[in-house]
Structure 1
Amino acid sequence: MISIILILLFVFSVLSVPVCHGVISGLYLYGMKIFPGLFISFILTNILVRILQQKNINNPWILVITGLMTGFPNGAYICSWYNKNNPENRLGDMLAGIINIPSPAFLISYVYINILEKCISLPMFLALTYTPVILCSYMTILLFRNKDNKKDNAPHIKNDKKLIFHFFEEAVDSSINTALKLGAYVIIFSVIVNIIMHFSQSNTAGLLISYLFEISNGLAIIKNAGIPMNITVLLTVLLDAFGGVCIIMQTKSICSSYISIKKYIYQKLVLCIVTLAMTYLLIYVLNIL
């Protein structure tokens, strides 16, 4: 461990410029783009999880809707909660990689407006992103849903205002801790991407690695690559489906107790294949764009 720290200190001293640029860009990205929406969604998701647990509600489509609406990494988080409360069921473990995707707010405000610059219609862009998720979720629920979960054997607690306030306090505490942890990952991966870009500004392999590492930086690379619109849209929806290595590390950080990361990566690959097939069909076969 000491040797690793010494190596990192040496790297920081030698590459202080790209490291500092990475920290600054990571802080800006997290503070201005990610944290405002992420923190509120974390609080709401935490409250939702506690209410569902208190009422013993195990409807899998609630997991899907939550993943669609709240974005990374809440989809995986609510699946880990599902596995915690249904340890005999594989459904949460098999859905995590599918519904852990960007929120509509992130897709519209950042991806659609800033990256794609409205080069396609908004309904088409959202359909390309979310239709594969819904299809894969439907198939997963058919295969892995445990019909016994419809039984309600847990005692119901009366709706109490004090209980709601207690849920809110717990949700805020949990959200602050999780949001800070995820912020550290965003900054660290921003530094890594800046170091890679420092040495490989004209290197295709370096650009590809940076593209796969962190979604926000990867999307910026797509925008600045000067490639045709069709390919830009294709690479954008693929990265939205995959999320990047940073999202995998974030998911492992907060959900590894109840979610298998190996299964999560496999699910992401399946979702990417379905997204690629659907996007290719619409763009190159049906020529809709």
Structure 2
Amino acid sequence: MSQTSLQNRAVDVTFRLLSQAFGPNGEDTLTLSGLRVHAEITQARFPTAESATVRIEGMTPDVMNRLSMAAPDSARQSASELILTTGDGAGGNTLVFQGGVTLAYVDYTTAPDVAFVAQAFSTVLPNAMPATPTGYRGAIPVSHVLKTIADKAGLTLRGQGVTAIVHDPYFHGSPGQQLGQCLETVPLCAGLGRGELSVWPTSAFANRTPLSPTILHSAPTPPMFVNPAQALSVSAETGLIGYPAWSAGGLALRMLFNPLVTFNSLIALHSRYQPAGWGQQNGPVPVGLWTVTQVHHTLQTQTPHGAWFTNVVAQASREPAL
């Protein structure tokens, strides 16, 4: 949505310690609100998945020192969790990142403006959890296998037209390792973040004979119909900044922060200039359908002229010929 007036932008930062809890009463969750925050959040295809780097100013020294112990313990297979939320404009909160902490430290280089810095990835906790192997005898839908693995990682599975069947699958290791093994067996597109595992059939997988002997068969999968009504409208009126630009990945654009723009989401771009074959046109503004392949949110709070942007890389998405 286009923003024409001043707004109080805020990012709430929550840390969940899986060990070494806060306070004498054993609290293991700390939420920081109203502080100066600079967050960089990226979403891409698994195994890259989602990552965040956050810089926070205004914290007390004791809290910063305590959180500096949030780095993962590989010996114990544990990691702490970082959660970032923003207001949704209706009095609620929108989850924009959730992942395991890989780096946490106090940065004194900008003293007296001391900051706490943390880095996290959505794949850390699924890779750190111990899990029993996942195996089945005979033929079984890969969606069932993925649901089993997702449950072990505490994730909700969002399946999008996955119809492959696998024969005698067996995957071992952590839930993250099992997911990686499964996706090597059955070439699917996957996203992992914000408590969800989302999977889609890749166009290459839908149109070729599977090579892996583990795959028994795949039901014929026609090209997925692209419904423009399900696309998120992106235009100058809804937050598009400047014009789209050519990118090695297809198209790149910048817009005001919109948490609804996520990996593999569909956007309907309204712009007179659309690279990668859409071209310039006179008259009505053309609508181009694009599938998002990478998202990067830059959020700054309590900062004059602070960034509040979403950068997108997307590929052209066209309806199949009937």
User: TM-score range with shorter-chain normalisation?
Assistant: under 0.3
Higher strand share: 2
Which protein, 1 or 2, shows the higher relative CO under an 8 Å CA cutoff with sep ≥ 6? Answer: 1
| TM-score (normalizing by structure 1) | 0.26
| TM-score (normalizing by structure 2) | 0.24
